[in-house]
Structure 1
Amino acid sequence: MQTRRAEPPQGIAPCGECLLLIDLVHWRDPKKSGVVFGVSLLLLLSLAAFSVISVVSYLLLALLCVTISFRIYKSVIQAVQKSNEGHPFKALMEKDVTVPPETFRKHVDVCLSHVNRVLKQMSHLFLVEDLVDSLKLAVVMWLLTYVGAVFNGITILILADILLFSVPPIYEKNKTQIDRYIDIARTQFNTTVAKLQEKLPGSMKRCKAE
């Protein structure tokens, strides 16, 4: 049975890169998803065992070995067959690999909007515009100190890569049950937050209301 593409929220026009990522993590094309997952996981495991310089150097060296070997192989074949096919990578070399200024400016504008949104949110949280939101962030940061004591950054990236390619298909197959438990958890969380807000001193509650 063919799986249905996850629909984006109404009013949001997803970009092509977002749709490609959605297709990859939902395993629409198992071959492509398997290749991307395998390569990304192998790269992260390599970074966990070796330095970034070593991993990049080995990758570029392997790529050069493949291209040089293929170039020599094609040259030998052309010499034996006395053909005149030309450079084996001619079609690739003729492609335009430059980034158009319009595309560059477009991505810069998108990145700038995200940066401004993050800065505004950080100002909201760290300047305690909303006490409850700032307390939530403090709790999350406190929990992350324990996570950092157990896992390093590259281990977290490896776990995130595994979850990225395993959670979406699992959620898609069990969406009804998972949504029900999420609603229960959200209700319990909102109830707890409401109780905490009722216990705040009067000045803090007025700050929250403002």
Structure 2
Amino acid sequence: MADSTSSSCSDSSSSSNKSSSSSLRDLTQSALQLVLWKEPKKSALAFGSSLLVLVSVATLSVISVVSYLLLTGLCVTITFRVYKSVIQAVQKSDEGHPFRSLLERDISVSLESARLLTDQSLIHLNWFNSQARRLLLVEDLVDSLKLAAVMWMMTYVGAIFNGVTILILADLTFFTTPLIYQKKKAQIDRYIELIKSRVEEMLQKLKDRLPGAVRRTKAG
């Protein structure tokens, strides 16, 4: 009896984990479809909305932007609610609350979904900690020099742009790069391969000039 109960609990737990994993996978797939412009109308709406919010944050305070967004949403929902109430009163219909289906929808975060997100976050956090320790403690001199070069470049980027401007540029890049790549795929791939070969050649020359004691050592 106990075995059947434990097996049913494990089955329900595994099924809930599968459903949580599938929902997370569906969310990731939906985000990719937006960025890749699989559905142009939804992508244009997401691109325009995100760009508008970021530009608003750049010109106004975050509190003002959030307040204006909530106020706009409330104006739309209140106006629609009053409109439907007037229509129902005139037509003497009994359709009920216009947002009833949305109000009755379950939007709570399940324990399995929270646990799955926590597990994924821990995986990425552990990977980040491992990489940070490896690079900062110079386990590999070449990789640490790469990080130093990137950080040196970022000091110039930070002197020119602030955080919100970088987010705006990232938003523009995410939504425009796939379209440009689809149209110029052959030329872009050729240039990428050329740049990659040049970088690998420079890194190989750098490794050859390093003393033997600081070259990359591979675990046996």
Aligned equivalents of 2:31, 2:181: Cα separation in 1 = 16
- Paired residue for 1:119, among 120, 125, 129? 129
- Paired residue for 1:129, among 139, 144, 147? 139
Q: Write out aligned runs for 1:20-31 (5 A).
A: 20-31=30-41
Aligned equivalents of 1:88, 1:19: Cα separation in 2 = 30
- Paired residue for 1:182, among 169, 187, 192? 192
SS of equivalent to 1:185: helix
* Paired residues of 1:26 and 1:168 also in contact (CA < 8 A): yes
Shift of 1:174: 2.0
SS of equivalent to 1:171: helix
Q: How many residues align?
A: 196
Q: Write out aligned runs for 1:36-51 (5 A).
A: 36-51=46-61
In structure 1, the partner of 2:169 is 159
Matching of residue 87 in structure 1 with residue 97 in structure 2: yes
Shift of 1:110: 1.0
Aligned equivalents of 2:67, 2:92: Cα separation in 1 = 36
Residue segments in structure 2 that go unaligned for 5+ positions in a row: 1-21
In structure 2, the partner of 1:195 is 205
* Paired residues of 1:48 and 1:154 also in contact (CA < 8 A): yes
Q: Write out aligned runs for 1:33-112 (5 A).
A: 33-112=43-122
Residue segments in structure 1 that go unaligned for 5+ positions in a row: 1-12
Quick one: which amino acid aligns to residue 125 of structure 1? L
Aligned equivalents of 1:31, 1:76: Cα separation in 2 = 32
Aligned equivalents of 1:128, 1:15: Cα separation in 2 = 36
Shift of 1:102: 0.9
Shift of 1:151: 0.6
Greater helix content: 2
Aligned equivalents of 2:45, 2:157: Cα separation in 1 = 30
Moved more, 194-203 or 45-54: 194-203
Quick one: which amino acid aligns to residue 113 of structure 1? I
Aligned equivalents of 1:17, 1:151: Cα separation in 2 = 31
* Paired residues of 1:125 and 1:137 also in contact (CA < 8 A): yes
SS of equivalent to 2:115: helix
Per the normalisation by structure 2, the TM-score is 0.85
Quick one: which amino acid aligns to residue 84 of structure 1? D
Aligned equivalents of 2:178, 2:85: Cα separation in 1 = 47
* Paired residues of 1:74 and 1:88 also in contact (CA < 8 A): yes
Aligned equivalents of 2:96, 2:38: Cα separation in 1 = 38
Shift of 1:160: 0.8
Aligned equivalents of 1:116, 1:177: Cα separation in 2 = 38
Aligned equivalents of 1:106, 1:151: Cα separation in 2 = 36
Runs of 4+ in 1 over 3 A off after TM superposition: none
- The CA deviation string for residues 67-92 of structure 1, in whole angstroms up to 9 with x for no partner, is 11111111122222222211111111
Aligned equivalents of 2:176, 2:96: Cα separation in 1 = 45
* Paired residues of 1:25 and 1:169 also in contact (CA < 8 A): no
- Paired residue for 1:32, among 35, 42, 53? 42
- The CA deviation string for residues 21-53 of structure 1, in whole angstroms up to 9 with x for no partner, is 222122111101100000000000000011111
Taking only aligned residues, the RMSD between alpha carbons, in angstroms, comes to 1.6
